[in-house]
Each structure stands twice: as structure tokens, then as C-alpha cells.
Amino acid sequence: MTKKKLYIDLFAGCGGLSLGLHNAGWEGLFAIEKSPDAFATLEHNLISKKKHFNWPDWLPTQSHDINEILEVYEDNLISLRGSVSLVAGGPPCQGFSMAGRRNESDERNDLINSYIKFVELVQPDLIFFENVRGFTMEFKKNKEKGIAYSELVLKNLRSHGYIVKGKLINFSEFGVPQKRTRFILVGMKGDLPKASQEAVDHFFDDLEISKYSFLKDKNLSLINTVEDAISDLLQSNGLVDSIDSPNFKSAKYGLIKSKYQRYSRKNIRSYVPDSHRLAKHQDSTVSKFKYILELTENRRNLDISNEIRETYNIKKHTIIPLCGNNCSPTITTLPDDYIHYKEPRILTVREYARLQSFPDWYQFRGKYTTGGKSRTKEVPRYSQIGNAIPPLFAEQAGLGLKNLIS
């Protein structure tokens, strides 16, 4: 009898990794996510719609803090030994992010230790770990000065009996229309019959080789541009009242113009995309965006120049006009960091989701955006997507992980 390929998703967010693993044929046991907003999205799509998780009776189906789980349910976690094939996840890593200000003492960095503690209790056959590119940079100030945090984590996991390998991967090379480079770590329990460093190393080689047949089977190109991803979602397609936001407008679907759009819209019957609420820009903002798009026609996917900043007295840290015929840069949790490649506006939540490879049937819950002190408590739709692992890459990783223990 073949053991079920059960996994647990830690720091699950809105479910990008779980969706990819689901599509790769894995079975979920449960997912841990602290934010009620992000968990509501995961629950709506993967628990209510897909019935993806075999949720245990001892754990309430709701948002949870991982440290509370470790404290309250330690015995339950230990009892899972031998039945869980994979513990996956990407601990919050703002302290290592290169998109903001690196802060090596950020308390959220300690959640990596919570991940390792969870692995120690459950002892899965495999571990899969995702983090930002800055995770591989060396400490500058702390007692570990000169050592990359990734190396400390690899050493720690080896001490717990895992054979591990970490590598930087650019998701745009796997069909995702976004240049998003992340540190991917894979580990295998050292006492498994076929466990070896060679086997773990081959995971990354096989991932590289298999992407061509994987994308061909889905009728997707290896490289997908911003235009490939979102050119059917234009405001110029016509406006209707937003489904979930009174006094806001949404754009209607346009004709499918790429293989990527056909993939994204599979089984969609509505003429209005989910979460496609358009921002209410002031006339002055629209004029400013038009001006920026005209001036930067040959300089896209880069932050605006000092000349443009001075002309409009722009103080904002980042404003990037997108390029239609290239992948987007790494999207963040702040939608006003980007200007649409063709229309003088910011992207919608659905356009964000397309750049992260979420299919259009995947619906998002919670506020669209938030600000001020609320940002410490709420994780709105844009942030959920900006923090996610692209499901299209996660599916490819999931297939590779299955092969690793098959």
C-alpha cells in the first residue's frame, strides 16, 4: 500500500503554494496562517471549494499563529510522525527583503526558527522552504557577521538529520510573467532508503529539465509577458459596477489574446473578472500617469527618473511604469508601486493575481487595500497576492517533490 503524499503548509498566506501542490496531486493535511484575511481566501478556495485538506479534528479550522500551535499542540504534532510526507512554507522574511529596508534584527526573522521547530516535531520525509533573495546575503552587524542566514538555516536542518540544498530561482523562467527571484530550499530525511545528497541536488536539475514538457502540456510559453498576462483586462473593454465594492467600477473581460490568458480563464463563465475593481484616481493623477507613460516609453520596468520626480514633486519611494512586452519586475504588497503598461492607472487585484499565476477562478477575500496603523493588523488582497508563492511554479515544484520520494 502506497503512503498518501500528505503535506502541511506553514505560513500559508492566501494559498499560492497549496494551490500548486493541489494541482500536482498532493493532499493537504492542514495549513497554518496567522492572518484572518489571508486564511479566509485560502479557506474559501481550497477548503470550501476544493475540499483539499483532510483537516484533523484536534485543530480548529481557522487562522493560527505557528508559535501557539507549537505550544498548545506539541503532542498532536509528534503523533503525526510517519504520516506526513512534506512540510512546506515560506516564513515571513521582511527583515531580509530587498524591496524594503533590510533589518537583520526584525523579530519576524525568528519565525524561521519556528519553522525548524515544527519540522523537528513532525519529522516529515521532505521539507520545502521559500524565502526572499536577500535571505542569502551576509549579515553585516550581528554576531553572525559575514555569514549568510541561509547557511545558518541549512546547517541547522542538517543537525536535525536532513540532507538539504538551497538555490536561487527566477520564477519568470518557469512560465510566471514576473521576474521574481527567490531562495528555494529542499530537504530530505537522511534515514530514508534512497536519501542522498545527489538525490536532493537532482531536484533542481530535474526542475530545470521538466519545465519545458510541463508548460507544453499546459499549452503555455516558457516566457510570458505582462501583455500576455493582462491585455484582456483593460479598462477600455467597458465598465460595469463592481461586484463587491459599491461605488466602484470594474472592467469587463476582453477577447482572449494569449495562451496564458486562455489558461487563466479556463472554466470562467462570467463576463466580469473577480477582484477587478478599478482605482478611483483623481484627474491630476491620471494626467500624471499619462505623462509618465509617454516619457518612459523606451524605459520601462525601471523606477522613474529624478527629472520626473522633480516635475511632479513625487516623494514616493518607488514608481515603476510596466513594460508590456517583458515580464514584470517583482511585485510587492503596494499596488501604487506600479503603473499599468498601457492605461494611466495602477493594477487591479486581478491583474496582480495574473502576474502571480493565480487562475481567475481563485477568488480573494478581505479588503482591497489598507493603510496607516491597519497595515500591522490587516492583510488586504493586494498584500496577500504580493506575498504569495506563484501557483504555477509551486505545481512544478510539487511534481518534483513527488518524484523525489516516489
362 and 397, same domain (yes or no):
no
Return the pLDDT at 102: 44
C-alpha distances in angstroms, 315 versus 148, 151, 197, 322, 332? 33, 37, 49, 19, 18
**pLDDT (tens digit, 9 = 90+) per residue, 8-65?**
999 999 999 999 999 999 999 999 999 999 999 999 999 999 999 999 999 999 999 9
Q: What is the pLDDT of residue 92?
A: 79
Which residue segment(s) compose the domain that 134 sits in?
A: 6-220+390-405
382 pLDDT tier (thresholds 50, 70, 90): very high
Q: Are residues 126 and 172 in the same domain?
A: yes
| Burial readout 235-256 (b: 16 or more C-beta within 10 A, e: otherwise) | beeeeeebeeeeeebbbbbeee
**Which amino acid, 140?**
K
Q: Is residue 384 part of a domain?
A: no
For residue 383, being part of any structural domain is answered with no
Per-residue pLDDT at 393: 98
**327 an active-site residue?**
no
**Is 240 found in the same domain as 213?**
no
Q: Which residue has the higher pLDDT, 11 or 140?
A: 11
Instruction: Specify whether 181 is located in the same domain as 323.
Output: no
Please give the average per-residue pLDDT across 350-364, as a whole number.
Answer: 98
* 315 lies in the same domain as 179: no
Q: Are residues 156 and 273 in the same domain?
A: no
What confidence category does residue 148 fall into, taking pLDDT thresholds of 50, 70 and 90? confident
382 located within any domain? no
CA distance 68 to 5: 26
Cell triple for residue 265?
Answer: 480563464
User: Does 283 share its domain with 364?
Assistant: yes
Q: Per-residue pLDDT averaged across 244-249, rounded?
A: 95
Q: Which grid coordinates belong to 53? A: 485538506
Residue 321 bridge partners (DSSP): 339
Question: Does residue 114 share a domain with residue 186?
Answer: yes
Domain count, the chain: 2
Q: Out of 92-96, 124-128, 380-384, which region has the weakest mean confidence (pLDDT)?
A: 92-96
* Residue 1 in domain: no
Q: Spell out the residues 6+ positions from residue 75 whose beta carbon is closer than 8 angstroms to its own.
A: none
Q: State yes or no: pLDDT of 110 exceeds 60.
A: yes
- pLDDT-above-90 percentage for the chain: 83
For residues 170 and 256, membership in a common domain is answered with no
What is the three-class DSSP state of 126? strand
Judging by DSSP bridges, how do beta strands 320-321 and 338-339 pair with one another? parallel
Name the pTM for this structure: 0.94
Say which amino acid occupies 138.
Answer: E
Are 146 and 138 spatial neighbours (Cβ–Cβ below 8 Å)?
Answer: yes
pLDDT for residue 100:
47
CATH code where residue 52 lies: 3.40.50.150
Instruction: Return the CA Rg of the chain.
Output: 21
**Residue 62 CA to its chain's centroid (Å):** 20
